């Protein structure tokens, strides 16, 4: 099916009125781009990233736009006519509003949640692993195959930070080990550890959707909940979660961002076994020195410092 993609460029003062107008004529599923909301989101969640693309910030500068979709059919064009009439009435009722501009694009019926799969292909990582999208039929070529359907959760193996962790895990995981995956996302790292020989793994993530996705990915690889536990929560603030996960892990892995990793340094000692390893990644290059200094200040010995595409990982003991 063909669709019409409609945009109304508005202003912060008029955005609420535009949305109300569209809903009153039966148009739902509105997508709102607002620079103020974008900046607030960045400020309130800055602990979860170290870098925001400058081009993205420029794109959002002054942005205040409502996007919605209508069928490219008689029904859709009838709704479009109603939207134009209502928009004209809104302009007349509020001459103080800056120009409200309606524009339209024709687009194909894309499977929005799945069309990205065309760009996600099997990846050989390190010396032993191959990450295979679940919808691909691929020969593992003698490697350890990790089948994955990440959905919309972080962790496909394509990002440098994830590859840094996977290559470190394939060198360090031994049979019988217990692994803790902090910020597990799709479960890719903890599932890889289990496939590489670890006895059990515990994953946690602040995103509740990660629990379902990680369990589903484990099942794709023949791993059950007798060996793999996943929970939602923040290990830094949730005492109940920390009690459930316990301690004594041979490897603790955290592929997050610099600020969270530094906050974890005082906690990780109680999570890993004596002599256990702490593998951390997700550290952009200009934060690497700061993170390494914090790791050492917490009494962790840095055994390895690796980098790829401007991102760093540290393996500590």
The Cα 249–Cα 104 span in angstroms is 55
pLDDT at 41 (0 to 100): 53
Task: Assess whether pLDDT exceeds 90 at residue 99.
Answer: no
Please give the CATH topology (third level) of the domain spanning 2-108. Alpha-Beta Plaits (3.30.70)
CATH of 155-316, one of 3.30.980.10, 3.40.50.720, 3.40.50.150, 3.30.565.10: 3.40.50.150
Q: What are phi and psi of 295, to 5 degrees?
A: -60, -45
* Average pLDDT score over residue span 127-137: 93
Partners of 65 in the β-ladder? 9, 33
Which of the four pLDDT bands, split at 50, 70 and 90, describes residue 112?
very low
pTM for this prediction: 0.70
Task: Assess whether pLDDT exceeds 70 at residue 77.
Answer: yes
Whether 228 contacts 203, CB under 8 Å: yes
Q: Which residue has the higher pLDDT, 43 or 308?
A: 308
**pLDDT tens for residues 226-278?**
999 999 999 999 999 999 999 999 999 999 989 899 999 999 999 999 999 99
Q: Give residue limits of the domains in the chain.
A: 2-108, 155-316
Q: Kindly report each contact of residues 32-38 with a partner whose C-beta sits within 8 Å and lies 24 or more positions away, as own/partner.
A: 32/65, 32/66, 32/67, 33/60, 33/63, 33/64, 33/65, 33/67, 34/63, 34/64, 35/60, 35/61, 35/62, 35/63, 35/64, 36/12, 38/63
Pairing of strands 272-284, 311-316: antiparallel
């Amino acid at each position: 099916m063909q669709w019409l993609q409609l945009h109304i460029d508005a202003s912060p003062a008029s955005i609420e009125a535009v949305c109300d107008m569209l809903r009153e004529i039966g148009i739902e599923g509105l997508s709102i781009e607002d620079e103020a909301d974008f900046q607030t989101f960045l400020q309130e969640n800055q602990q979860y990233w170290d870098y925001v693309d400058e081009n993205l910030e420029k794109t959002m500068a002054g942005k205040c736009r409502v996007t919605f979709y209508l069928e490219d059919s008689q029904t859709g064009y009838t709704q479009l006519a109603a939207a134009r009439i209502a928009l004209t009435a809104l302009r007349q009722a509020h001459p103080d509003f800056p120009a409200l501009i309606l524009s339209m694009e024709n687009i194909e019926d894309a499977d929005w949640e799945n069309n990205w799969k065309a760009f996600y292909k099997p990846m050989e990582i390190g010396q032993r692993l191959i990450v295979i999208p679940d919808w691909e039929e691929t020969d593992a070529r003698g490697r350890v195959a990790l089948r994955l359907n990440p959905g919309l959760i972080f962790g496909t193996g394509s990002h440098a930070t994830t590859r840094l962790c996977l290559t470190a895990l394939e060198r360090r995981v031994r049979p019988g080990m217990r692994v803790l995956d902090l910020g597990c996302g799709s479960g890719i790292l903890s599932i890889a550890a289990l496939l590489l020989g670890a006895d059990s793994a515990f994953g946690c993530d602040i995103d509740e959707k990660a629990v379902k996705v990680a369990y589903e990915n484990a099942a794709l690889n023949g791993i059950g909940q007798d060996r793999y536990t996943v929970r939602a929560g923040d290990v830094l603030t949730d005492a109940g979660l920390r009690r459930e996960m316990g301690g004594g892990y041979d490897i603790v892995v955290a592929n997050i961002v610099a600020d969270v990793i530094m906050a974890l340094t005082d906690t990780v000692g109680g999570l890993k076994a004596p002599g256990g390893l702490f593998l951390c990644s997700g550290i952009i290059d200009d934060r690497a020195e700061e993170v390494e200094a914090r790791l050492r200040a917490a009494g962790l010995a840095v055994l390895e410092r690796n980098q790829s595409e401007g991102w760093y990982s540290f393996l500590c003991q």
